[in-house]
Structure 1
Amino acid sequence: MLLNTVHGMRCAVSIEDLNIAVVGTGANGASLGADMIRAGLSVTYVDQWPAHVEAMRSDGLTVNFPDGTVERTEIDAYHLCQVAELRRPFDIVFVSVKTYDTRWAVELLKPLLHAESVVAGLQNGMTIDDVADIVGPERTVGAVLGIAANMFEPGVVNRQVSRADTWTTVGTYAGAPTPQLENVRAVLSTAAVTETSHDIRASKWMKLLANIPEMLPSAILGVPLLTAVHVPGVRETMDEASREAYALARDLGIAMVPIFGMTARDVQDSDQYALDLLDAVLKSYSLEDTRVAVLQDWDKKRHAELDAYNGYIVETRRKLGGSAPVNEAILQIANRIESGDLEPSLNNADLLVAARALAD
């Protein structure tokens, strides 16, 4: 790899020289990785779904765009069990697994990092701390995604936001710009409008504020997000969960910053901003059939990321000595679905509406 020195650190002369891995190639990871490959970058996929890996090896990855465009991309894909066969170190590892799989996924690729490699989590939730704990803060890059996609069969992604309307922001753990961060930004710019954040923890918190009212509530109802928000009384419950999360962020000293391409003018100095973030998701990242990630997991009979969303709010507030009753009630309903006591259904609407009363 051709290298030069910037601020005492090595960086690639061009992103075409970088060796990149995407670990966890579900709907988001696979489609973003395909954009990188189509831009001429060297990208290796690692995934835990055998049928998906085999489909990509034999037929490539098919990405269906909302305008009817269909793209097929040849993929260099590996099963988890084949990571030990890889020899060339990676300069950037994008992690796009479920939040609860973050630690083992990073540990799996750690032997394939060199001293100046970075690991960037293309995930919701606050996984930057897990990554930093394993590879060190200096090798940790956080990211926030504005994208919607689904995958119902191996090797096929349905991307519900155009490439031009997909948005990301990235930042280092410490907040300082680095050559590696610029490489990550440039690589992701092949797939999305990509910005940099000087406070990636705050940026990720803003995405969490957007996720809190959408992920579990709409999944509990078993319907697309745009359907869920119009069920009588449900939006009010969503908004109360958002307000609890906003209050927690304030108590933690989290700065309110713009995401999704917003500007500082769009950031209201009140919990209305949390509600505005959900409106942004509804307007820019939702189609009539968009099903949130939690519901997609339940559709596939998989464990969902409850602890990354409302569960994170409940636990973090508890550590501060308080409670988040609306988020806790939503979490309890979701846990009943996880245990098999309930099914995702509009029949659960009354339970969600009742949760709203706990805020009074």
Structure 2
Amino acid sequence: MSKEAGKQAARDAVDRGPILVWGAGAIGGTVGAHLIRARHAVVFVDIVPDHVAAIRDPGRGLEIEGPVAAFKVTAPAYAPDAVQGTYRRIFLAVKTHDTEAACRALLPHLAPDGYVLSLQNGLCERVIAEVCGAERTMGAFVNFGADWLGPGRIIYGNRGAVVVGELDGAMTPRVTALHGILRETFEPNAVLTPNIWGFLWGKLAYSSLLYMQGLAEKGIADTLARPEILPLVRALCSEVMAVARAEGVTPLGFNGFDPKAFYAGASEDAARASVAALVEFNRPNAKTHSGIWRDLWVRRRATPADAQIGVVIPIGAKHGIACPALERLIAMIHQCERGERGMSDDNLNELMKGLR
């Protein structure tokens, strides 16, 4: 065996090593559990002691529930300060506003030639790249529906888009290998893209609609189906699309969301058609309400609004683009967090009036 072939064999052996999933909640727990079921070695890290204990306990384990898949696995799981060793593949699945702190905590465990994959919402790849290095950062976009129900319990409510890509669009061996793993173990229709930023900006626009739903009582499908709030939907998505295009990004669509329907000059009919497609995608799902809604009204905790959709506002300002709809939406989310505003479908009517 040549020296180069020997090095490649050593790299391949390392690639078969454990995957460290940092954040074992709805997204990380669902993906990690599927990897384990397919006989991949996975180590979980999470900040909830009871959740960590459940995952490690052979008598309890991590249970995936719901209409898409129902099974239980057990795996090594640790608190952030207890994990040991280094890993070439770290899947990061913490809340957007916890990204920097998580990256600094995981950095000692990231192999010099390893990477961090962001299984998150927002533009977290920017933060990961700053802490871990752009060459050790990989992008992903996910739109499947899952919720953390309690220690050791996650509901996998519906399948959705799963996309991976290098930040610079290169088709490297590592991203190709990862894409293959995700297709084999989790999402058969997973996409490998040279434009991961296009998907991430598209999800930011859709995320603004999920934050909008977080203010309301009705679920995602029923909220989007309200014809009278179409101007609000158009205002939110149009702001995100305008900033994305100013950044030189070509936003990409998914699961009914059509970015071009919210470009400047796009017709009301185009927006209405995209919203109808989003309603059709969400209507049959077991996950009826957004994670934002659960944060506000079930778990009673702060949302990552500022770190997620809020990042659009300063980027827009850099290009001279105002985002008044996003600003008002985030302000109302914070009122809910502080207990100054209750859950009500009328919140969307008020938000509409503020845009006129």
Specify the TM-score bucket, using the shorter chain as the normaliser. Answer: 0.7 to 0.9
Q: How many residues align?
A: 343
Alignment match, 1:199: 195
Alignment match, 2:340: 341
Instruction: Give 1:175 shift.
Output: 1.6
Distance in 1 (alpha carbons) for counterparts of 2:23 and 2:54: 15
Secondary structure of the 1:212 match is helix
Question: CA 1:320 to 1:199, structure 2 compared with 1: closer, same or farther past 3 Å?
Answer: same
Q: Is the 8 A contact 1:56 1:77 kept in 2?
A: yes
Instruction: Give 1:332 shift.
Output: 1.5
Alignment match, 2:329: 330
AA aligned to 1:75 is: A
Alignment match, 2:155: 158
- Of residues 233, 239, 247, the one that matches 1:244 is 239
AA aligned to 1:171 is: G
Q: Is the 8 A contact 2:117 2:138 kept in 1?
A: yes
Instruction: Give 1:74 shift.
Output: 1.4
TM-score by length of 2: 0.87
Greater shift, 17-26 or 165-174, is seen at: 165-174
Question: CA 1:326 to 1:14, structure 2 compared with 1: closer, same or farther past 3 Å?
Answer: same
Secondary structure of the 1:40 match is coil
Instruction: Give 1:195 shift.
Output: 1.6
- Of residues 120, 124, 127, the one that matches 2:117 is 120
Instruction: Give 1:28 shift.
Output: 1.4
> RMSD in angstroms over aligned alpha carbons?
2.8
Distance in 2 (alpha carbons) for counterparts of 1:10 and 1:47: 30
Instruction: Map 1:103-118 onto structure 2 (within 5 A).
Output: 103-118=100-115
Distance in 1 (alpha carbons) for counterparts of 2:63 and 2:272: 35
Distance in 2 (alpha carbons) for counterparts of 1:185 and 1:6: 24
Distance in 2 (alpha carbons) for counterparts of 1:237 and 1:261: 18
Distance in 2 (alpha carbons) for counterparts of 1:119 and 1:275: 38
Instruction: Give 1:137 shift.
Output: 0.9
Secondary structure of the 1:18 match is coil
- Of residues 198, 208, 211, the one that matches 1:212 is 208
- Of residues 182, 185, 188, the one that matches 1:188 is 182
Alignment match, 1:297: 295
Alignment match, 1:176: 170
Distance in 1 (alpha carbons) for counterparts of 2:8 and 2:120: 30
Q: Does 1:81 align with 2:81?
A: yes
Alignment match, 1:12: 12
Percent identical pairs in the alignment equals: 25
Secondary structure of the 2:82 match is helix
Q: Is the 8 A contact 2:165 2:194 kept in 1?
A: yes
Distance in 2 (alpha carbons) for counterparts of 1:244 and 1:116: 38
AA aligned to 1:47 is: D
Q: Is the 8 A contact 2:63 2:152 kept in 1?
A: yes
Distance in 2 (alpha carbons) for counterparts of 1:9 and 1:212: 45
Question: CA 1:53 to 1:270, structure 2 compared with 1: closer, same or farther past 3 Å?
Answer: closer
Q: Is the 8 A contact 1:118 1:141 kept in 2?
A: yes
Q: Is the 8 A contact 1:236 1:356 kept in 2?
A: no
TM-score by length of 1: 0.86
Q: Is the 8 A contact 2:163 2:193 kept in 1?
A: yes
Q: Does 1:96 align with 2:93?
A: yes
AA aligned to 1:335 is: H
Question: CA 1:267 to 1:341, structure 2 compared with 1: closer, same or farther past 3 Å?
Answer: closer
Distance in 1 (alpha carbons) for counterparts of 2:7 and 2:231: 50
Instruction: Give 1:269 shift.
Output: 7.6
Q: Does 1:71 align with 2:67?
A: no
Q: Does 1:311 align with 2:271?
A: no
AA aligned to 2:78 is: Y
For 1:128-163, what per-residue CA distance to the aligned partner results, in whole angstroms no more than 9, with x for missing partners? 1111111111111000002001122221111111xx
Question: CA 1:277 to 1:7, structure 2 compared with 1: closer, same or farther past 3 Å?
Answer: farther
Q: Is the 8 A contact 1:93 1:120 kept in 2?
A: yes
Distance in 2 (alpha carbons) for counterparts of 1:7 and 1:247: 47
Question: CA 1:186 to 1:7, structure 2 compared with 1: closer, same or farther past 3 Å?
Answer: farther
Distance in 1 (alpha carbons) for counterparts of 2:180 and 2:309: 33
Secondary structure of the 1:221 match is coil
Greater shift, 204-213 or 115-124, is seen at: 204-213
Q: Which runs of 5+ in 2 are unaligned?
A: none
Q: Is the 8 A contact 1:90 1:117 kept in 2?
A: yes
AA aligned to 1:80 is: P
For 1:253-289, what per-residue CA distance to the aligned partner results, in whole angstroms no more than 9, with x for missing partners? 2113344599xxx774862577766555433355265
Alignment match, 1:26: 25
Question: CA 1:11 to 1:196, structure 2 compared with 1: closer, same or farther past 3 Å?
Answer: farther
Secondary structure of the 2:56 match is helix
Instruction: Give 1:237 shift.
Output: 0.9
